[in-house]
Amino acid sequence: MSKKSLIAAVVPVAVCLGLVFYAQTQKEQATVTIGAALSLTGMAAADGENIKKGIEFAKAKLQEEGITLNVVYVDDGSESAQTVSAVAQLADVYQVEALVGPTWSFLAAAAADTISDRKVVAYSPANTSEHVTSTSSYFLFGAPKNSLKANPSANWLRDVGATRVAIVVDDGAWGESHVQPFTQAVQEAGATLVHVERVPMSVSGADMQTLLAKLATLDVDAVLYTGLDQATALIVTKKQALGADFALLAATEILRKQAEEGVVSITADDDVYLMRPETSKHFEEAYAAHYNEYPGPYADRAYDGTMLLARSILSKPADVSLNDYVRSNTYEGYMGTYSFDENNDLVGGAWVIEQMQ
């Protein structure tokens, strides 16, 4: 089985820290206020904190330009009802016309009606329309679509020589949005799909061990996986403990952060691969210089989205709504050109695969 790295080459791009149409004549000491309805505690807190760091990095960069960005943070505790309250509070009390968040898909779905009612533009770095069950015309989704994972997954299956494949996803909207592209990948690779497993949020180590034992009896030689934080660490550590002989592709960025923080320890012999969005090396370097660490999941999209919102608020004509203004223009950020389709999804974006070692 091939152990080679599958790191995709990232074509260098010229990075513009602002919008292409940003007016150069803005007041030197302009002030902008936005909201952030984020999960800073609870099950989504790791992603919420990464998003917050991206926002704060954008805030620091804007300050260097003489622009003061005020950000009102409201923690939703990763609870749907609190997300609705957070959005309402930001709109009604602080009267923001734009916010970053909510963090995860079920939280965004819960807040959709409130976002529409308040006409607040909500930029969500971690979501796409594929896994937000209730949406709003005021959403802007900043993540590349999961449907784009089919082709790189198929290439990976060919590369590792997979013939019998299992799909393991979390039992929720996020996981379900991967079943179709993963199934497509298996078909394109000419392999056989032998099992699909949906793992509950409350999965335990014993549950994961039982699942891996099942996959062993099915003679699986590759697993396409995505899931939440706990399950991601468990599938890796139980695979290692059992000496399970299959290649694992984890289509979740959390694994990289878990490896950096020592939650999991992975070598090339473990046959574990990571799928992540194509990233800008320029952003990683600038972020590392600012925080003395590399960015976690969604920090890059949070940075670009914050800049997008702040510059749009400063630049839009008084008689044009922020929502219309954002959708009628394109934006150049670290991660490329930002524009949004009829489903509020980011146009473009790509996924790349690398071996963990």
pLDDT per position as a tens digit, 236-265: 999 999 999 999 999 998 898 899 889 999
Q: Are strands 272-277 and 331-333 parallel, antiparallel or unpaired?
A: unpaired
**Would the pLDDT of 120 be above 80?**
yes
* CB 62 within 8 Å of CB 26: no
pLDDT at 193: 98
Mean pLDDT (whole number) for 59-84: 97
Q: Which of 109-131 are b and which e, b meaning 16 or more Cβ less than 10 Å from the residue's Cβ? A: bbbbebbbebebbbbbbbbbbbb
- Residue 137: pLDDT band by 50, 70, 90 thresholds? very high
Global pTM value? 0.84
Mean pLDDT (whole number) for 162-180: 96
pLDDT at 14: 32
pLDDT at 279: 85
Mean pLDDT (whole number) for 209-228: 96
- Residue 112: pLDDT band by 50, 70, 90 thresholds? very high
Handedness of CA 36, 37, 41, 46 (dihedral sign): negative
pLDDT at 26: 43
For 124, the token pair is 């969500």
pLDDT at 302: 98
Q: Which of 71-101 are b and which e, b meaning 16 or more Cβ less than 10 Å from the residue's Cβ? A: bbbbbbbbbbebbbbbbbbbbeeeebbbbbb
Mean pLDDT (whole number) for 168-174: 94
pLDDT at 11: 30
Q: What is the separation of C-alpha 99 from the centre of its chain, rounded to a whole number of angstroms?
A: 17
Cα–Cα distance, 352 to 279 (Å, whole number) = 9
**Would the pLDDT of 72 be above 90?**
yes
pLDDT at 9: 34
Q: Which of 261-271 are b and which e, b meaning 16 or more Cβ less than 10 Å from the residue's Cβ? A: eebbebeeebb
pLDDT at 16: 39
Give the contacts of 54 (CB within 8 A, at least 6 positions apart): 125, 295, 298, 299, 300, 301, 302, 303, 305, 306
pLDDT at 257: 86
**Would the pLDDT of 354 be above 90?**
yes
Weakest mean pLDDT among 10-14, 30-34, 268-272, 314-318: 10-14
**Would the pLDDT of 25 be above 60?**
no
Please indicate whether residue 1 or residue 347 has the higher confidence score (pLDDT). Answer: 347
Mean pLDDT (whole number) for 75-96: 98
User: What are the pLDDT digits (tens) for 263-316?
Assistant: 999 999 999 999 999 888 999 999 999 999 989 999 999 999 999 999 999 999
DSSP E strands in 76-217: the ranges are: 98-100, 121-124, 139-141, 164-170, 192-199
